[in-house]
Amino acid sequence: MKLLCNARLHGREGAFDIEIDGDRFGRVLPAGQGSGEEWIDAAGGLVSPPFVEPHVHLDTTLTAGEPRWNASGSLWEGIAVWSERKRALTRDDVVSRATEVLRWYAANGVLHVRSHVDVTDPGLVALDAMLEVRDRVRDVVDLQLVAFPQEGIRSFDGGADLLAEAARRGVDAVGAIPHFEDTREDGVRSLETAFEIAAEHGLMLDAHCDEIDDEQSRFVEVLATLARRTGLRGRATASHTTAMGSYNGAYSYKLQRILARAGVNLVSNPLANLCLQGRFDGYPKRRGLTQVKEMLGAGVNVAFGHDDVMDPWFPLGTASLLQVALVGVAAAQLTGPAEIDEAFAMVTERAARVLGLGDRYGVAEGRPASFVVLPAASRFDAVRRQTRPTHVVSRGRLIAETPATPTRLTWPGEEPRDIDFVRDRDR
């Protein structure tokens, strides 16, 4: 038995010892009462379940500028640039880029990742490469793959067959992109096709849905209704849904009920969508985000994702979900203290619900011993100061360490001292 000592836990007063029994959590006890060999001293830092990435595109990652930059910055030019880059894809290219970013995720304490993979490629090069990556990283990162028809299920020749073939090759979820299909009717049919394939193979569904500033784009109601009818309650996700940022109040109210009843998850990607949306607006320029606060208030599960790390849709990123949470706070105006805690939950527990992790996730006896130690007093503090985890543990194995290093500041009239951005009265 090993011991994680002097840990702070969200929502609980005091310090704790947490017993680690092999790859599982043992008992959680008041500090000083745990038994076992002292292993990690959390030093009063916050012990949290690992961060969960509910939405990224690992096959496109680290390609920003190849073969050219996205000059307009729009989603549509991003798709066109990717379509050009896709012709040069090889297995090695995909494996090396995706693995590099998964290392960044792991270093940042992100141990569960859902990646979409473009399957509108007759060779399915990226899909086969990502299936291989999923196996290779299995001991450290739990990777889910979504078959994502980037260029359409009906608009792309053979799109439905490629999606079905991807399901046969072993993805975890089936995707769609109804707002990109040529007509409204094709959009609806594409969702029906995706749900049929998901049902046939017993898979989850995660569609890029209404990622456009067009208030007429209303496929999320179709997705929710199909989820309810096909028994995919809690296992269907609508990603992006940025058109919702332009819906009128009456329709939004109706939608809240439809989504809550169907148990559909939403994933908002503030970094990418703040950049991609509003590109065709003059001023006032829309934020182009889904209705995060309102949907949370209506009982809908909403998570935050990164979406893109250095690719044609977003040129920056270090695979940090604390950064995503911080931008999410600003983008969705989640500025109350409980709302900032909620933003943290949107990259941990709420994202875990999107992935359907159930009792495979969380700091509790009997569950897999995967966690991060954050040198922070609270979730609020971790979001504000963007603290890197000092320790990342995956199923009982320490995989990453980052010493907390303050900045030495020499200030006029004072002795040099360490600055860590903690307010003096909070010490």
Q: Which residues are catalytic?
A: 211
**CB 239, min distance to Fe ion, A:** 6
Instruction: Identify which range of 133-141, 252-260, 306-314, 361-369 contacts Fe ion by CB under 5 A.
Output: 306-314
Looking at 26-34, 40-48, 94-102, 300-308, which segment touches Fe ion (CB under 5 A)? 300-308
Cα diameter, the chain? 72
CA distance 322 to 305: 10
Residue 206 touching Fe ion (CB under 5 A): no
What is the spatial distance between Cα 86 and Cα 256, in angstroms, rounded to a whole number?
A: 37
Considering the complex, what minimum distance in angstroms separates the CB of residue 323 from Fe ion?
17
For Fe ion, the closer CB: 114 or 287: 114
**Site for Fe ion, residues 318 to 347, rule: CB under 5 A:** none
Contacts of 293 (CB under 8 A, 6+ apart): 332, 333, 334, 339
Query: Which of residues 213 and 307 has its CB atom nearest to Fe ion in the complex?
Result: 307
- Closest to Fe ion by CB, 116 or 391: 116
CB of 308 to Fe ion, least distance (A): 7
- Nearer of residues 118 and 142 to Fe ion, judged by Cβ: 118
Q: How far is the CB of 215 from Fe ion (least distance, A)?
A: 20
State the residue number with the nearest CB to Fe ion: 307
CB of 392 to Fe ion, least distance (A): 25
Token digits for 317? Answer: 């990123």
* Beta strand spans in 86-161 (E): 110-118, 142-148
Strand order in the sheet with 110-118: 51-56, 110-118, 142-148, 173-174, 204-209, 236-240, 265-268, 302-304
Closest by CA to 125, choosing from 95, 90, 88, 85, is 90
Q: What's the CA gap between 408 and 417, in Å, rounded?
A: 6
Give the range of 105-113, 126-134, 304-312, 394-402 binding Fe ion by CB under 5 A: 304-312
Here the tokens at position 355 are 């992935």
Of the candidate spans 292-300, 303-311, 325-333, 342-350, the one that interacts with Fe ion by CB under 5 A turns out to be: 303-311
If one asks whether residue 307 binds Fe ion (CB under 5 A), the answer comes out as yes
Query: What is the closest distance, in whole angstroms, from the C-beta atom of residue 97 to Fe ion in the complex?
Result: 16
Q: Is 381 in the site for Fe ion (CB under 5 A)?
A: no
Which residues, 6 or more positions from 353, have their beta carbon under 8 angstroms from its beta carbon? Answer: 234, 265, 301, 303
Residues 59-118 that bind Fe ion (CB under 5 A): none
On whether the CB atoms of residues 267 and 303 are closer than 8 A, the answer is yes
Q: Which is nearer to Fe ion, 307 or 349 (by Cβ)?
A: 307
272, 313 contact by CB (below 8 A): yes
| Beta carbon nearer to Fe ion, 18 or 130 | 130
Residues at the interface with Fe ion (CB under 5 A): 307
